[in-house]
Structure formats: structure tokens, C-alpha cells
Amino acid sequence: MIQLGCSLLGSSVEEDRYWSMEDYEAAVPRWCSGCGDHAVLTAVQKLLEVKQLPPEETVFVSGIGCSSRFPHYIDSYGFHGLHGRALPLATGVKLRRKDLNVFAVMGDGDCTSIGAAHWIHTLRYNPNITALMLDNGVYGLTKNQTSPTSPLGVKSNTQPRGALLNPMNPIATTLGVQNASFVAQTGDWAPDHIYETIKAGFEHRGFSFIRILQRCPAYTDHLYLEAMRNPDSIEMLTHPNGINSEFTEEIYKNHVYHDPSDLVNAFRLAQVGEKIRLGLFYRNDDLPVYEEVRTVPTHAADEKIAILNAELDKYAV
């Protein structure tokens, strides 16, 4: 709060701090025109405005890839980390500073390939972090290599005759990990649903894993073309406790009533079918949160120096 003195009234007047979406803008995004990352960035900035998250209490952590440039484009604290390492970095931030709003942004290769072990174990730990996995089915920043989520037969520089294996299913994989507490899927062609999904994930107490389906305009622009053009190719998961977007649900008429507390049915719905399913697959609000069950000791600056010197003294000759 900002205190303003007011001599006319003989008292002080409090004025709330307020941030608009523009106040959260930083560098101009360098993503390609038509990249789904733009839609995600706009949804996130809208969330920051709606929730009025103070920039000094908000952190965006990323790995390596096109989507991992996210921290450069948000005017808050940010950490652009190493390939696949966004989640352990974000967990470290949350352990030390429980009061901060922590977001982790990753690409499909970043999360499900080199970062796969961190992805699995962060699900187990269940820290209160909102994780966005932007999935365009390709390594785009390094110029078109097959990723774990590349569809069968899609050609790339590493597999010019087409991907040899069926793609990994990140939603089904996540649901299979003990302690998964929030698992949702949305698409870059449904901006209102992106916002509602990220908002629901942020409001969840625990680790929120959100897969955002999107196209890479340079290499996989065909990937979800049918989903964009034909609303009948989409099935929306609906439930009073799910993700509900009236605007999106008016466009997409195929609805599947699904209770997000039903893990067995969530896993069934996560299987690949003729239609793409968007919505909340699973949520469990009763799981322990990692930073609440694991205490991290705090020390003043002089105490830290004393502890460090004590460790170094062990090796004195």
C-alpha cells in the first residue's frame, strides 16, 4: 500500500497499487508470427492483472526453447535456466520463498525429454507451482528435430522420413504418477479456455500441470489445423468443479461430463481418440504440498558466513 498524506482532510489516504496488463510487459516478444506462445503470454498477462500479482512477488522460471523465452517478456522476477531444468529451479525458489507466486514454462522437448526425470519427481513432490508445458510437437528453436510428442510420420531434420514412434502422451503419463494433483489440457486456438485453465491451475494449491497444444508456424503449422477449422473435432470436459468457459463451450458443442476427482475415468479420457479433449482431467486438493512438509532452515547473513567458514575449516591443513 502507498500512504498519501492529505492535509486538507487532516488524515492519510490509502491508495491501492494497481497493475494493468501493459504493466507486466517487458521485452518485445521475438516469437514468429502465428506462434501459439503469443496467445499463452496474453493469457498469463491477463491472469496477472486479474489477480493483481505484485511483480516483486512473482517468478517465471524456464528451461531452453522458444517457450522458455517467457521470463524475458514478463516484467517480474525471472530465471532462464538450463535445458530441462525449469522444474528443479522453480522448486528451489518455492522451497526458499513460499510466499512467491511461481510459474514454470517449458516446451515439449524441454519437459518430456531431457527434463523427464524432473517432471516425474516434481509431480511426486507436489510443490505449489503452476507449470505450463507448451507442446508443438517439435524442437523449434534448434530448427526442426523430432521431439517425444512429434506425431507418427511427421518429418524433421533428425527423422527426414518421418517420426518412427507413436508420440508420448503427456496427460496420461502425468496421471500415472503418484501425487499428481492438477492435470489439464488446453489449445492455443481457444484463448478464453487458455486463460480459464491457467487461472484454475494458479488457484489450485499444489502442482498444476497444464499441457497447451499449439502449432509451430515454421515446422508444425499443420498439427492442429483441423482443430482450428472444425469445432466438431474437439470434446470439452465439463463439470461444476472443472474448467468452465461459457464462450468456448458455445463454440464447441461436443461436451463430456467428467468429474475431475475420478482418476480412473481421467486416465480413460486421456487416451488418444478421434477427438481432441480439452479441460480438467484430474484434481486432488487433499495432497500434501512439498514446501509445507519439508522445512528449510533460514539463517541471517552472518550466520550463513559462519556456517560456510565452519565447513571450510574441516579441510584446513
Q: Say which CATH number the domain at 108 has.
A: 3.40.50.970
Identify the pLDDT of residue 7: 36
234 near 153, Cβ under 8 Å?
Answer: no
Q: Helix 37-51 crosses helix 191-203 at what angle (to 10 degrees)?
A: 50
Tens-place pLDDT, residues 91-150: 999 999 999 999 999 999 999 999 999 999 999 999 999 999 999 999 999 999 999 999
Question: Which amino acid is residue 159, in one-letter code?
Answer: Q
Between the CA of residue 85 and those of 14, 43, 92, 115, what are the distances in Å? 42, 24, 11, 6
Identify the pLDDT of residue 77: 97
Looking at the domain assignment, is residue 47 inside a domain?
Answer: yes
Looking at the domain assignment, is residue 144 inside a domain?
Answer: yes
Q: Which domain holds residue 143?
A: 27-313
Looking at the domain assignment, is residue 17 inside a domain?
Answer: no
Identify the pLDDT of residue 295: 78
Identify the pLDDT of residue 250: 87
Looking at the domain assignment, is residue 145 inside a domain?
Answer: yes
Contacts 24+ apart (CB under 8 A), 160-163: none
* pTM beyond 0.85: yes
Looking at the domain assignment, is residue 2 inside a domain?
Answer: no
Looking at the domain assignment, is residue 13 inside a domain?
Answer: no
Identify the pLDDT of residue 316: 86
User: Average pLDDT by consecutive 10-residue portion of the chain (317 residues)?
Assistant: 35 67 96 95 97 97 95 97 96 95 96 96 97 96 93 93 95 96 96 97 98 95 92 95 88 95 97 94 97 84 91 90
Looking at the domain assignment, is residue 14 inside a domain?
Answer: no
Q: Write out the DSSP string of the chain.
A: -EEEEETTTTEEEEE-----GGGGB-SPP-PPTT-THHHHHHHHHHHHHHHT--GGGEEEEE-SSSGGGGGGGBSSEEEE--TT-HHHHHHHHHHH-TTSEEEEEEEHHHHHTTTHHHHHHHHHH--S-EEEEEE-SSBTTTTSB--TTPPTT---SS-TT---SPPP-HHHHHHTSTT--EEEEEETT-HHHHHHHHHHHHHSSS-EEEEEE---TTT-TTTTHHHHH-GGGEEEEE-TTS---HHHHHH---EEE--TT-HHHHHHHHS--SSEEEEEEEE-TTSPPHHHHS------HHHHHHHHHHHHHTT--
- Report the domain count for the chain: 1
Looking at the domain assignment, is residue 116 inside a domain?
Answer: yes
Q: Could you tell me the three cell numbers for 277?
A: 479433449
Identify the pLDDT of residue 15: 59
Residue 119 CA to residue 90 CA, distance in Å, equals 12
